[in-house]
């Protein structure tokens, strides 16, 4: 072997070493989040209490128990959350046992008639039956009604809490469309209807959005992010004035006919620009004439509108469109989310993306979207939906801005109805209920006591 070959081999070896230094192997354990349709809760032969049921995501039969303190401590060390075992133990004991709101047992939670549960920080463990087995750090009830809906979709969760009011809203992305000036008319109408239909499949009120990114046909480069939302019409209900979603024709008529600038309100330039751009889109895609003139007065923004209008007409710009629906949190969910929102590491903060503005060097917030499991129940009188639960399907995922979603055309949301899509199965025969388990422990204690009594002196009373 000559010197040249030796030098090449040595350099190759060093380069491989540098790559391994820059990209260390990650051996940290990765926890899962599990959504379970509940068959029941009981004790397995190993003496642990399990929730038995069906994995909502995979349709597998599974059982899940809660961690011990020692297991949770080791999880925190192995996942890199903490290095000090004593510190981890103090945190876990406080969470599980010592706080004013300690972790509930599975049987305690079952008293509220939960039909579906969510388990956080879950790890698979060996199983001796036909149920895949897991242990979990924490759990929550998804719903207590068998008729509840579950929606799995990209979503943004917004929660606002002030001293005077608190509310939350979930924006659920339902469909994706790629549309240009030459798209089929039915497809264009389907996009608008998917976004702005004022009623859902139960004829309940619905408000939605057409979220779109204008992109260049040449390279797909994002030009502008816009939104067109359902028009909320003010009506009088008794002594109250309330806003309800208008039908799609009213929404588009209001857009094309009514001025945004009024005697009492002059919106900012960016709001006027978005509104006028929506008018241009309706004009070009639905062939509807302008009834009210464009209201943007800034000369540069006017030039942008003219340029975009021309490029849409020529087919040089297309819409990367995501239609979405808004559903508000229910009253009880607002109360529980108020506590979540106050935490320093609130799970609600993951839906916001913070970036530094290059012009002002100040942080700005963007809406982020994550694949989310959403629990929904409906009011008995109006059938209007409200959200009872939200959690990301992947606890390790990071939120993406709308233009970074990169999803295929078509339906993006999946709806499940618990009592239609899942069957509640009987528990295995070997499972003991809480009462049976307590009785078993008493009998076992009696046997142990009798065994110890055999060592005592016989005074002639044992017959």
Q: Same domain, yes or no, for 103 and 245?
A: no
- Indicate whether 463 belongs to any domain: no
Q: Same domain, yes or no, for 65 and 118?
A: yes
Angle among Cα 6, 9, 13 to the nearest 5 degrees reads 140
- Indicate whether 48 belongs to any domain: yes
Distance of CA 224 to the CA centre of its chain: 26
Residue 238: band (very low, low, confident or very high) from pLDDT cuts 50, 70, 90: confident
What are the structure tokens assigned to 212, written together?
């779109």
The two most distant CA atoms of the chain are separated, in Å, by 111
Tell me which residue range forms the domain holding 195. Answer: 149-258+315-416
Residue 196: band (very low, low, confident or very high) from pLDDT cuts 50, 70, 90: very high
Q: Same domain, yes or no, for 333 and 387?
A: yes
Q: Same domain, yes or no, for 399 and 357?
A: yes
Percentage of the chain exceeding pLDDT 70: 87
> Whole-number mean pLDDT of the chain?
86
β-sheet bridge partners, residue 399: none
- Indicate whether 126 belongs to any domain: yes
Residue 429: band (very low, low, confident or very high) from pLDDT cuts 50, 70, 90: very high
Angle among Cα 283, 288, 289 to the nearest 5 degrees reads 85
Round to whole Å and give the CA distance between 460 and 463.
Answer: 8
- Indicate whether 434 belongs to any domain: no
Q: Same domain, yes or no, for 402 and 340?
A: yes
Q: Same domain, yes or no, for 172 and 222?
A: yes
**286 compared with 27, residue with greater pLDDT:** 286
Round to whole Å and give the CA distance between 265 and 279.
Answer: 19
Final residue in a domain of this structure, among 117, 144, 171 = 144
Q: Same domain, yes or no, for 139 and 211?
A: no
- Indicate whether 372 belongs to any domain: yes
> Is it the case that residue 343 has pLDDT exceeding 90?
no
Cα-Cα end-to-end distance for the chain: 94
Average pLDDT over residues 366-386: 95
User: Which pTM value belongs to this model?
Assistant: 0.84
Q: Which residue has the tokens 């209920």?
A: 433
Q: Same domain, yes or no, for 327 and 198?
A: yes
Q: Which residue has the tokens 């499940």?
A: 416
Residue 160: band (very low, low, confident or very high) from pLDDT cuts 50, 70, 90: confident
Write the DSSP string, 415-441: EEEHHHH--PPPPPTTPBPHHHHHHHH
Average pLDDT over residues 25-37: 77
- Indicate whether 19 belongs to any domain: no
Q: Same domain, yes or no, for 194 and 135?
A: no
Write the DSSP string, 63-86: EEEEPPHHHHHHHHHHTTS-S-HH
Strand, coil or helix: 408: coil
The burial class, CB within 10 Å (0-12 / 13-18 / 19+), for 111 is exposed
Q: Same domain, yes or no, for 219 and 334?
A: yes
> Is it the case that residue 144 has pLDDT exceeding 70?
yes
Final residue in a domain of this structure, among 91, 117, 144 = 144
- Indicate whether 9 belongs to any domain: no
Residue 314: band (very low, low, confident or very high) from pLDDT cuts 50, 70, 90: very high
Q: Same domain, yes or no, for 133 and 176?
A: no
> For the chain, what is the domain count?
2
pLDDT value, residue 143: 92
Count helices and strands in the chain by DSSP H and E runs: 11, 18
Q: Same domain, yes or no, for 232 and 164?
A: yes
Average pLDDT over residues 262-271: 92
The burial class, CB within 10 Å (0-12 / 13-18 / 19+), for 250 is middle
Phi, psi of 233, deg, nearest 5: -95, 135
Average pLDDT over residues 323-334: 94
Phi, psi of 192, deg, nearest 5: -65, -40
Pick from 360, 424, 415, 371: nearest CA to 393 = 371
- Indicate whether 442 belongs to any domain: no
pLDDT tens-digit readout, 46-61: 999 999 999 999 999 9
Final residue in a domain of this structure, among 144, 164, 183 = 144
Round to whole Å and give the CA distance between 423 and 415.
Answer: 16
Distance of CA 426 to the CA centre of its chain: 30
| Residue 400 DSSP label | B
Strand, coil or helix: 209: strand
């Amino acid at each position: 072997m000559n010197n040249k070959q030796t030098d090449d081999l040595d350099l190759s070896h060093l380069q491989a070493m540098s790559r391994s230094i820059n990209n260390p192997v990650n051996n940290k354990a990765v926890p899962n989040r599990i959504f379970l349709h509940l068959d029941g809760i009981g004790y397995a032969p190993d003496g642990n209490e399990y929730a038995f049921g069906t994995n909502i995501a995979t349709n597998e039969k599974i059982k899940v128990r809660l961690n011990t303190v020692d297991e949770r401590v080791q999880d925190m060390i192995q996942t890199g959350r903490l290095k000090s075992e004593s510190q981890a133990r103090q945190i876990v004991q406080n969470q599980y046992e010592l706080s004013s709101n300690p972790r509930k047992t599975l049987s305690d939670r079952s008293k509220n008639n939960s039909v579906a549960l969510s388990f956080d920080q879950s790890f698979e463990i060996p199983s001796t039956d036909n149920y895949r087995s897991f242990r979990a750090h924490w759990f929550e009830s998804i719903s207590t009604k068998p008729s509840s809906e579950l929606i799995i979709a990209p979503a943004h969760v917004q929660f606002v809490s002030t001293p005077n009011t608190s509310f939350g809203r979930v924006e659920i992305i339902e469909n994706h469309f790629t549309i240009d000036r030459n798209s089929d008319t039915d497809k264009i109408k389907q996009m608008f209807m998917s976004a702005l239909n004022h009623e859902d499949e139960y004829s309940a009120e619905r408000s939605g959005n057409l979220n779109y990114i204008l992109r260049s046909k040449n390279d797909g480069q994002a030009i502008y992010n816009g939104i067109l939302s359902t028009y909320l019409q003010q009506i009088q209900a008794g002594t109250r004035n309330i806003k309800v979603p208008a039908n799609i024709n009213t929404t588009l008529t209001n857009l094309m006919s009514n001025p945004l600038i009024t005697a009492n309100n002059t919106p900012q330039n960016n709001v006027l620009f978005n509104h006028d751009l929506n008018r241009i889109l309706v004009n070009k895609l639905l062939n509807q004439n302008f009834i009210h003139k464009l209201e943007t007065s800034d000369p540069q923004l006017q030039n942008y509108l003219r340029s975009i209008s021309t490029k849409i007409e020529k087919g040089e710009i297309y819409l990367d469109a995501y239609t979405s629906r808004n559903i508000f949190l229910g009253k009880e969910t607002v109360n529980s989310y108020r506590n979540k929102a106050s935490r320093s590491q609130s799970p609600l903060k993951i839906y916001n993306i913070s970036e530094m503005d290059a012009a002002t060097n100040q942080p700005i917030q963007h809406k982020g979207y994550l694949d989310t499991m959403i629990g929904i129940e409906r009011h008995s009188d109006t059938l209007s939906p409200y959200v009872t639960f939200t959690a990301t399907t992947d606890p390790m995922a990071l939120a993406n801005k709308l233009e970074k979603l990169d999803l295929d055309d078509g339906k993006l949301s999946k709806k499940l109805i618990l009592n239609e899509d899942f069957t509640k199965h009987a528990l295995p025969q070997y499972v003991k209920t809480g009462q049976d388990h307590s009785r078993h422990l008493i009998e076992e204690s009696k046997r142990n006591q009798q065994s110890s009594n055999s060592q005592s002196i016989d005074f002639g009373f044992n017959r």
